Amino acid sequence: MKSRTLVRSATALVAAVALLTACSSGSDPDAKAAGDGPETLTVWIMKDSVSAEFLARFSDGFEQQHKDLKLDIQIQEWDGIGEKVTAALASTDAPDVIEVGNTQVAQYAASGGLTDLTDRTGDLSGDDWLPGLAEPGKIDGKQFGIPWYAANRVVIYHKELFEKARITAPPKTRAEWIDATEKLDKGKTQGIYLPGQNWYTLAGFIWDEGGDLAVEDGGTWKGALDTPEALAGMEFYGQLQALGKGPKDSDEAKPPQAEVFAKGDVAQVISVPGGAKIIEEQNPQLAGKLGFFPIPGKTADKPGSVFTGGSDLIIPAASAHQKGAYEVVKALAGEKWQTDMAKTMSYVPNQTSLAGALSGDEGSAAMAAGAAQGRATPNTPNWAAVEATNPVKQFMTAVLTGTDPKTAGVKASASITKTLGS
């Protein structure tokens, strides 16, 4: 983000030179001379996003279907990737396809270095995309990021503790959730372990109320934690958080909530489904005793809103192989490989109609059900700077420790507004 302003002019110059060169030569940059071998496409995939076995299957399958194309898949480290992608977008030798975090697309689009794929969304089943993945990839009405996969939080619960409390079915509404958690929060049992700064969970409650963390008004972004909707979401968070012993001044990593749950006296925790595996590693005696359900909504007809994490696929404007790059994106985002990846990695597919691919796994099925109500953080390149200091966390702790919610909301909103406008 620090280099975004610096690279904008460089990117524009590169694009202009490339355009003039293409026009003067009259040639198609994707064209090959007769007798040349397959065209090599460079694809950047982030470390641990998918397994080596999946990538090998995809590469072999893709090349069998596209005899004129060959894939050079390069694994990238998350550490420092922002600067590396920004530099690549401003270069004349960019990779052809890049996996990026779904909330990073706005940052890269601001450089002017991404290919606009708006006219391809119909071909890619864009009407069926998960909103939480599709929205961050759409900047100023143009689709730059193509949804690849998603993951979101669910409620992991201790089945035996539910049985002891005579709770026969997971709650489907907020009211039922509070009622069940009150029954669970007895004796040595914590009804739920919810730290005071789990701000992604708070975001979902705010979205359910019709609010947001920040809103755009006339091209200017403003913090919105002081709105009635945000304060209502925080009020519910406080009710739920009080039914356990979670710290009010830290998040789910301090201490690691999986370790807390693994002690066996916690009835519920909010986590991605994979958190259950970590819990079972900490306490093997809990294996087979954990269940999952979507975060409940205000009404029983749909789950609560959740933050959708995941990845998008982008094509740099400087890619010399635009047609081939699109074929890679189309394949990775299509039904065949979305279904394969969902079953292999337990990710939520990018299309709501493919949620059935996870039906055999309880945790993944709960995640897929919640993903239909997925949302993303405010779609502005400066949101990453907000997260760096995170006034949302400070707002939550202030309210939970007795500060007037409206006063705390005004202060946090002012901080967010200042950062987004900087």
Sequence-distant (≥ 6) Cβ neighbours of residue 152 within 8 angstroms: 132, 272, 306, 307, 308, 309, 348, 367, 370, 371, 374
Cα angle, residue 18 at apex, residues 12 and 19 outer, rounded to 5°: 90
Q: What is the 3-state secondary structure (H, E, C) of 64-98?
A: HHCCCEEEEEEEECCCCHHHHHHHHHCCCCCCCEE
Helix axes 322-332, 335-345, angle to 10 degrees: 50
DSSP state of 352: G
Q: What is the pLDDT of residues 314-364, one digit of tens each?
A: 999 999 999 999 999 999 999 999 999 988 887 889 998 998 888 778 998
pTM score, two decimals? 0.74
Residue 410 Cα distances to 210, 218, 415, angstroms:
18, 20, 9
pLDDT at residue 130, rounded to an integer:
86
The predicted pLDDT at position 31 comes to: 47
- What value does the mean pLDDT of the chain take? 89
At residue 28, the pLDDT reads 46
In this structure, which topology does domain 4-151+309-375 adopt according to CATH? D-Maltodextrin-Binding Protein; domain 2 (3.40.190)
Q: Has residue 397 got a pLDDT over 90? A: yes
pLDDT at 268: 98
Neighbours of 194 (CB within 10 A): 26
Q: Report how far apart, in Å, the C-alpha atoms of 328 and of each of 72, 193, 241, 307, 321 are.
A: 11, 42, 45, 27, 11
pLDDT at res. 8 = 38
- Average pLDDT over every residue of 411-417: 98
What percent of the chain lies above the pLDDT cut of 90?
71
Helix (H) or strand (E) holding 251: none
Please check the confidence at residue 415 and state whether its pLDDT lies above 90: yes
- Indicate whether 382 pLDDT > 90: no
Contacts of 367 (CB under 8 A, 6+ apart): 151, 152, 153, 154, 272, 273, 292, 294, 348, 358
Q: Do domains 4-151+309-375 and 154-307+379-420 have the same CATH topology?
A: yes
Residue 402 pLDDT grade (very low, low, confident, very high; cuts 50, 70, 90): very high
Determine the Cα–Cα distance for residues 234 and 245; give it in Å rounded to an integer: 18
**Per-residue model confidence as pLDDT tens digits over 107-119:** 899 889 999 999 9
Q: Domain locations in the chain?
A: 4-151+309-375, 154-307+379-420
In this prediction, residue 11 carries a pLDDT of 39
Tell me the per-residue pLDDT of 236-246, one tens digit each, with 9 for 90 and over: 999 999 999 99
Integer Rg of the chain from CA:
23
Q: Which pLDDT score is estimated for 39?
A: 96
* pLDDT tens, residue by residue, 177-213: 999 999 999 999 999 999 999 999 999 999 999 999 9
Rounded to whole angstroms, the Cα distance separating 288 from 100 reads 35
Q: What percent of the chain has pLDDT over 70?
A: 91
The CATH homologous superfamily of the domain defined by 154-307+379-420: Periplasmic binding protein-like II (3.40.190.10)
